[in-house]
Structure 1
Amino acid sequence: MTVCWFVGLTTLDVVHRAAGRPGANEKVTATRQDVAAGGPAANAAVTAAALGVRAVLVSALGAGPVAQAARADLDACEVQVHDVAGPDEGFPLPVSSVLVDDATGERSVVSADAALAVAPAPSPGELGALPRPDVVLLDGHHPAIARAVLAYVDGLRPRPRVLLDGGRWRPVFAELLPAADVAALSADFTVPADIAPGATDAAHGALLLGARAAVVTHGADPVEWTDGRDHGSVAVPRVTTRDTLGAGDAFHGALAAALARGAGVPDACAAAVRVASTRVRFVGPRSWLAHVPDVSGPRAAMAPRGSGRSREDG
């Protein structure tokens, strides 16, 4: 069975859906409430598990009541959790407060991410006891975990493909990008000029730092990819957007699953676009999983760079 490791942040997301955002000293009544595990690595793992991949989440949860709620959701989604915090009841799993605008599906998030505590690094023995990965996704949170996992997989032969999730720049990315076979970046990702002098954009900066390929998402606009020699784009289907929470994470989880099954970067991007476009059509963090598309068959429609074509969701 194909195995992917997802290394990084887990949170507990408390999601409210409302008619609009409250102003200062204002209270609004939610039309819906959901509680689920969140975080880039955790959400990507949930997506990959729904796509039939054995998803292993290497993260820090602890044993407190918040962690128990997150773990129960991950168990229900068939994600295997390796918790480096173990039975530590005092480890503070972050709680994310999420508001989704009922009219647009856009979300606002307040979270401590990984800033509340330093997660310990897993030992080589711990990692060696896990199923051997075909792809390892690193989200840049919990740097000690990322460094330990990267050191471990660098010793495996053949070496698993490394996928980096770059939502926004973090200093640890200067260490992780040189190891990345694919850097999946958001349009907001910027490599500091002193780190990659001469970089013209996010993808160029990632390649200058050593990534073998880069993928850049632009919301509803085409996804761009390049390996420094070839480049192209994948059209994003036109769909009715109901909920954007976790759409990027769904893209990364599907990208990891496709790469683990041997797809090249263009085909993996096409599969990931189909999955992320499905995610935004459904309200709530987990309801969409019942509608995950089959991305193991013919590849999704692709557009040459600059065409801007879209196709209707089937």
Structure 2
Amino acid sequence: MARVVVVGSLNVDLHLLLRRHILPGETLIASGGTFSPGGKGANQACAAALAGADVTMCGAVGDDSSAPVATTLLAEAGVDLTHVRRLSGATGLAVVSVDAEGENTVVVVPGANAAVTPGVVRGWEPVIGAADVVVLQGEIPATSDLEVVGCGPRRLILNLAPVIDVAPQLLLAADPLVVNEHEGAAALSQLGGPDVTEPADVVAGLRAAGVASVVMTLGAAGALVAWSGGTVSVPSPRVRPVDTVGAGDAFCGALAARVADGDSLEVAAAFAARFAAYTVQFEGAQASYPAPGTALPD
């Protein structure tokens, strides 16, 4: 079984359901108010496990009552949690607001995720070096993401989300760099590339800057996949969105699972698009991810 290690964040999500998103200075009545597991790292680890990989999660939670919530669905999915540290203080928190169209806004309080220092990462070097694929995001310190590169991963998938300032060598170590349109433009800027906004131009600029491969997610329009063999468009199935929270993480985790198992980047991205499309039909992040054997939309 393909081995995937995810180094990243674990949060508890507070879900708020709104008719529309709030304006500055405004008060709205919401429904929801439930807590569920989240964090980009944990979401991607859960998705990778449900997509068939042998997954290890490396990260941190606090010593508060939220910590067990943050890891519940990871444990159910079979993710190895022996490298999740429990630190003094609060578990990461994300306040997720979803409007009637299924679009979301997210505000994150890092909590224990901010304490995942380069020294902590160095302690995970043996497990990082043994993985087929290592996955990173932007919810732990940038210096800690860079430390992962020094641990010698065989193949690194970097999802620059949320966008943080990172060292160019981290971006150039990614294979692939997974970004949406906004994240891709920000990554290109960090590499000193041209000021362009069209997805194809951004992807081409990232490749020209030295990024080995790029997967740019485009929501319902699918994804652009670029590598040494060329650039292709991967479609997404058409579904009725209910909640897009965690869909990008679902895509990234499923992509990692298929790449680790030997699929080409194009084939892996096509599977990931179907996996992610399934999730937006249901509320929540990890709770919406399909169990193994679930029929995915075409």
Is the structural similarity TM-score above 0.5?
A: yes
CA 1:181/1:280 → structure 2, altered by over 3 Å: closer, same or farther? same
Measured against aligned partners, the alpha-carbon deviations of 1:52-107 in whole angstroms (never above 9, x if no partner) come to: 211111112232323232133432332223556x34222x3321111112x21111
Query: Which entry has the higher C-alpha Rg, 1 or 2?
Result: 1
Contact 1:114 1:142 in 2 (8 A): no
Contact 1:4 1:257 in 2 (8 A): yes
SS at match of 2:91: coil
Aligned to 2:76: 76
Larger helix proportion, structure 1 or 2?
2
Measured against aligned partners, the alpha-carbon deviations of 1:279-302 in whole angstroms (never above 9, x if no partner) come to: 11112334433456669xxxx9xx
SS at match of 1:44: helix
Contact 2:11 2:94 in 1 (8 A): yes
Separation in 2 of the partners of 1:289 and 1:57?
17
The one-letter code sitting in structure 1 at the alignment partner of 2:251 is: F
Contact 2:49 2:55 in 1 (8 A): yes
What's the TM-score once normalised by structure 1's chain length? 0.81
Aligned to 2:107: 110
Measured against aligned partners, the alpha-carbon deviations of 1:219-277 in whole angstroms (never above 9, x if no partner) come to: 11131111154111111111111110000000000000010000111101101001001
TM alignment of 1:50-199, pairs within 5 A: 50-81=50-81, 83=83, 86-90=85-89, 92-101=90-99, 103-113=100-110, 117-121=114-118, 122=120, 124=122, 126-128=124-126, 132-140=130-138, 141-154=140-153, 160-172=154-166, 174-189=168-183, 190=185, 191=187, 193=189, 195-198=191-194
Percent of aligned pairs with the same residue? Answer: 28
Aligned to 1:264: 264
Separation in 2 of the partners of 1:167 and 1:88?
24
The one-letter code sitting in structure 2 at the alignment partner of 1:166 is: L
Range that drifts further, 185-194 or 225-234: 185-194
Separation in 1 of the partners of 2:22 and 2:166?
35
Separation in 2 of the partners of 1:284 and 1:198?
37
SS at match of 1:110: strand
- Structure 1 unmatched runs, 5+: 155-159, 301-312
CA 1:57/1:183 → structure 2, altered by over 3 Å: closer, same or farther? same
Range that drifts further, 251-260 or 173-182: 173-182
Contact 1:278 1:291 in 2 (8 A): no
Aligned to 2:246: 246
Aligned to 2:27: 26
Separation in 1 of the partners of 2:158 and 2:141?
14
Separation in 2 of the partners of 1:124 and 1:110?
29
CA 1:194/1:96 → structure 2, altered by over 3 Å: closer, same or farther? closer
Separation in 2 of the partners of 1:116 and 1:48?
20
RMSD over aligned Cα atoms? 2.8
SS at match of 1:6: strand
SS at match of 1:220: helix
CA 1:291/1:239 → structure 2, altered by over 3 Å: closer, same or farther? farther
Contact 1:96 1:109 in 2 (8 A): yes
- Displacement of 1:118 after TM fit? 4.0
SS at match of 1:60: strand
Aligned to 2:220: 220
Measured against aligned partners, the alpha-carbon deviations of 1:118-161 in whole angstroms (never above 9, x if no partner) come to: 4223365543257921111111332343233221125xxxxx22
Separation in 1 of the partners of 2:143 and 2:39?
17
The one-letter code sitting in structure 1 at the alignment partner of 2:283 is: V
Range that drifts further, 204-213 or 216-225: 204-213
Contact 2:93 2:109 in 1 (8 A): yes
Contact 1:185 1:202 in 2 (8 A): no
Contact 1:59 1:82 in 2 (8 A): no
